[in-house]
């Protein structure tokens, strides 16, 4: 330990890679599969260092800080996208429910008062789901009558593609 404390030379990238591999070796089995896994990890590290022209620890630390900054930027861009996707999914789900049970609800409304109650009892779930979807959509539409389902689906698809692109930046 005294020798280590006296050693003030900065770590090289080779030392860091060897340290990582040594820790992996200590934590797991040291069989043939572990050795192959270690070589694959070392290959990925070497490719990363080569691709990013990293030759010393300072450059590695700078790259890590840069990647953290990019991650935070991506996270900040993803938050509003995910919020809007959640809203659009709720809109579309309610439109689907509304359209699915609209025929049953119309039939229910066209029944004579005596048979309407019996019809309502046999189709209680469908009528309730329709009415809930209708209330939701009335609140969303702000007095408009046409449901912009195509526009919502197009926006959802675009946002999903943006989200996928942003999530794939570091992969």
Q: What is the pLDDT along the chain (171 residues), one digit of tens a residue?
A: 455 545 556 666 677 677 776 776 666 555 677 677 777 887 888 888 888 888 877 888 888 899 899 999 999 999 999 999 999 999 999 999 999 999 999 999 999 988 999 999 999 999 999 999 999 999 999 888 899 999 999 999 999 999 999 988 765
| Phi (first) and psi of residue 34, to 5 degrees | -65, -40
Cα three-residue angle 43-45-50, rounded to 5 degrees? 95
- 77 contact partners, CB below 8 Å, separation of at least 6: 166
- In this prediction the pTM is 0.67
Distances (CA, A) of 159 to 90, 101, 163: 15, 29, 6
């Amino acid at each position: 330990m005294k020798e280590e404390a006296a050693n003030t030379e900065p770590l090289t990238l080779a030392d860091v890679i060897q340290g990582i591999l040594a820790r992996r070796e200590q934590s797991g089995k040291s069989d043939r599969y572990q050795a192959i896994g270690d070589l694959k990890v070392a290959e990925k590290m070497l490719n990363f260092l080569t691709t990013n022209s990293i030759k010393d620890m300072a450059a590695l630390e700078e790259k890590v800080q840069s990647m953290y900054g990019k991650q935070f930027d991506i996270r900040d861009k993803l938050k509003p996208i995910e919020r809007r996707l959640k809203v659009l999914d709720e809109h579309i789900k309610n439109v689907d429910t509304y359209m699915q049970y609209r025929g049953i609800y119309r039939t229910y409304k066209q029944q004579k008062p005596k048979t309407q109650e019996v019809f309502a009892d046999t189709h209680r779930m469908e009528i309730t789901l329709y009415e809930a979807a209708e209330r939701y959509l009335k609140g969303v539409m702000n007095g408009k009558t046409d449901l912009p389902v195509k526009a919502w689906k197009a926006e959802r698809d675009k946002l999903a593609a943006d989200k996928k692109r942003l999530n794939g930046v570091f992969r």
